[in-house]
Structure 1
Amino acid sequence: MEEVVVFKLERSKRKKHRFRWRRAFFILFVFIFLIGGTYSIIQYKQGLSAASDGKYKNDGTTFEQFNGNLPDNGQINVLLLGSDSRGEKNARTDSILIAHYDQNTKQPKLVSIMRDMYVEIPGHGKQKINAAYAFGGPELLRETIKQNFNVDINYYAVVDFNGFSKIVDTIAPDGIKVNISHEMSSGIGMTLHPGEQTLHGKELLGYVRFRHDQLSDFGRVERQQEVLSKLKDQATNIKSVLKLPKLLGLFDSYIDTNVDTKTNLILGKDFITGQAKNVQTLRIPLDNTFENQRYDDVGEVLNIDLDKNKEELQKFLKDDNESRKK
């Protein structure tokens, strides 16, 4: 009988001990959650405050409806655009890129579309491809890429270059290392001297926008791909992860996009946790597949071998799918 009583007392003590530990764990969890939530809110508001001059504070209201199909088979294509607007209503795009991500292989790819390519724009005839944005925003540019290259675009993101330097400085506060081959000054409001050096936000913006040399837009496209790839690597840094709420605040005002929350979470998780592989890049048109020509109505253009570039672009985007089938 005494043994039974002792057993019951010990069991009661163990239950009380477990209850205390559960309660303590719950209190600690709530405390961490509150601290983390407060930190995130403060960081997010700091981002919004830093982006008070952003022109995309109300996503989805700047442009006409975007009719891209939802992605299937884990393939996501996002049209990344940078506008060279100085306040005019029908500005052309300064940069056109397709960001491709395969959720199955974790492979990111970046395609730079040369803005002076001479293509058919639905409803407007033959024009430089960046004119599509001026005529009908991201949607007409999506239609143009679909008609000429048969590539489906699912989402768009338009970057306000005024916020580029702040976004870069938040992701990479210690700067990005680059090797400048020659002096750059014309058209960027600064002078960048030759040599290997570390550039920060405003300097990097000048670096990726400079085009007044013998390589013209081709050199600029290479620099854009270089910087975006290095920013992707910086985004996996623990300091950048902690600043994610602040980045979201900056993005809200400096980037207009229709990328949904679920897709944002998928992409953010893979990139921040380092699961995403190194970025593969391509430029369209390819070398030796175009000629420089001039037309009175549009000026200097790149007259391209459309069939060859279309074939190579589709192959580049589909390579991961085919390799998984083998």
Structure 2
Amino acid sequence: MEENTRQTRNQKKKKLRKGRFIITILLLAVIATSIYVYAQYKSGLEMASDTKIPVEDFQPDEFKERVETYLIIGVDARGTEKSRSDTMMLLAWNHDTNDMKLVSFMRDIYADIPGYQSYKLNTAYYLGGVPLLKATLNEMFDLPVHHYALIDFKSFETLIDILAPNGIEMDVEKNMGGEIDVELKKGLQQLNGKELLGYARFRSDAEGDFGRVNRQQKVIEALKDEMLSPTNVKNFPKLVGAAQGYITTDLTSTDQLSTIFKAIAGNGELAIEKMTIPAEGMYKFANYRHAGSVLEIDVEKNKQLLHDFLQLQE
């Protein structure tokens, strides 16, 4: 009887020691992971120190509907000189359905820019930065803008290389070169940051700016897939740190960014619906001495199409 009791006690002691050992290993793993995450975050943050493009007087529209919008702007100069916006997209997040939709605005749209003569849409950023581009979209399309993210293309290259050090898979539809500073061959391949940027900016073919916008949307789709890939989780801390320096945005709260990432992650494969403004058949080409070749659009028809696509409440 005493022997059985002794054996039972020994077994309990062994289980207790084993349990303590497992807990210790788990704690060490958590500590090691935390140190790694923090070190990578700091590394990314230091890479991008003092690189943000300053933005003044951005006044977000009041968020009172179910659709929250994010204006994404890509420029080709970093604060050293005035630049036109090369990329203008609007990401819309429907909180009711957790769907996301992406709208690309052609930069040659002949736009009514508040306080100025009509010019190409990308001139709004040149004349008044993010606030004036936002005001132009507000007035032309009755479009609310709740947040913005502004990135220089050189910074875009670096962020891509952090997210996917081995490159991002793209099916390049034709040989590309010339003004994009890289030479790309037709076919499926892994593109680094500089090559991916060149692919997104290429427009030296018959499709012109329309083809460029389509490629930009393909790049966004590829980036979404990379961010959802488990193999890239280890790169996230450094990416988040670098993004805080390389991307200028009104989203200053970590909680805000975490909410967006959780929504994306919780959306499974997350199919992003895409459209381009102007829509097919709702524009014509024109030429003005002060603005050059432009797209004159049917504003009312494009606005209605845009509202229907984004499911904005009237």
Q: TM-score, normalised by structure 2?
A: 0.87
User: What letter corresponds to residue 306 of structure 2 in structure 1?
Assistant: L
User: Among residues 179, 192, 195, which one is paired with 1:200 in the alignment?
Assistant: 192
Please point out which of 242, 245, 267 is paired with 1:253.
Answer: 245
Cα deviation 1:243-294 (Å, max 9, x = unaligned)? 2111112202211111243321111112235546211100000011111111
Partner Cα separation in structure 1 for residue 66 and residue 21 of structure 2: 42
> Could you report, residue by residue, the CA deviation over 1:284-318 in whole angstroms, capped at 9, with x for unpaired residues?
00011111111001111110010110001111111
Deviation at 1:168, TM superposition (A): 1.7
Stretch deviating more after TM superposition (125-134 or 271-280): 271-280
In the alignment, the residues of structure 1 paired with residue 269 and residue 177 of structure 2 have an alpha-carbon distance, to the nearest angstrom, of: 35
Q: Secondary structure at the match of 2:93?
A: strand
Q: Is 1:223 paired with 2:215? A: yes
Please state if 1:262 is matched with 2:239.
Answer: no
Among candidates 35, 39, 47, match of residue 38 of structure 1: 35
Instruction: Please say if 1:77 is aligned against 2:73.
Output: no
Aligned counterpart in structure 1 of residue 51 of structure 2, from 45, 52, 55: 55
Q: Distance in 2 between the 1:17 and 1:146 partners?
A: 69
Cross-structure match for 1:233: 225
Q: 1:304, 1:115 → 2: CA distance?
A: 12
Correspondence for 2:274 among 275, 281, 290:
281
1:4 corresponds to: none
1:313 counterpart SS class: helix
Q: What do the CA deviations read for 1:2-44 (whole angstroms, capped 9, x no partner)? A: xxxxxxxx9xxx9x99999998787666544432321111111
Structure 2 partner of 1:158: 150
Pairwise CA distance, 1:149: 0.3
Which string of whole-angstrom CA distances, capped at 9 and with x for unpartnered residues, describes residues 95-148 of structure 1? Answer: 000011123322111110001101111111311111111111111111110100
Q: Say if 1:102 and 1:22 are closer, same or farther in 2 by CA, change over 3 A.
A: farther
Q: Is the 8 A contact 2:175 2:184 kept in 1?
A: yes
In 1, the alpha carbon distance for the partners of 2:188 and 2:269 equals 27
Q: 1:193 to 1:19 in 2, by over 3 A?
A: closer
Matches within 5 A, 1:81-120: 81-85=73-77, 88-120=80-112
Q: Deviations over 1:218-239 (max 9, x none)?
A: 1110001001111101111123
8 A Cα contact 1:107 1:276, kept in partner: no
Q: 1:76, 1:263 → 2: CA distance?
A: 12
Change (3 A) 1:153 1:25: farther
The answer as to whether partners of 2:74 and 2:152 remain within 8 angstroms in 1 is: yes
SS of alignment partner, residue 223 of structure 1 = helix
Distance verdict in 2 for CA 1:86–1:30, change over 3 Å? closer
Distance 1:49 1:101 in 2: 31
Gapped regions of structure 1 (runs ≥ 5): 1-9
- Which moved further from structure 2: 254-263 or 220-229? 254-263
Cα separation, 1, equivalents of 2:113 and 2:14: 73
Aligned residue pairs: how many? 306
Aligned 8 A contact 1:116 1:302 in 2: yes
Distance 1:49 1:239 in 2: 24
Query: CA contact under 8 A between 1:112 and 1:283: conserved in structure 2?
Result: yes
Structure 1 stretch 204-213 or stretch 79-88: which is displaced more?
A: 79-88
* Unpaired segments ≥5 residues, structure 2: 1-7
- CA spacing shift, 1:28–1:221, aligned 2, 3 Å: same
Number of the residue aligned with 2:288: 295
Residue type of the alignment partner of 2:225:
D
- Aligned residues of 1:241 and 1:272 also touching (Cα < 8 A): no
Equivalent residue, structure 2, for 1:5? none
- Per the normalisation by structure 1, the TM-score is 0.84
Moved more, 240-249 or 113-122: 240-249
- Identical amino acids, percent of aligned pairs: 35
CA distance in 2, matches of 1:204, 1:266: 28
| Deviations 1:194-237, CA, capped at 9 Å, x for gaps | 22333222111110011111111111100010011111011111
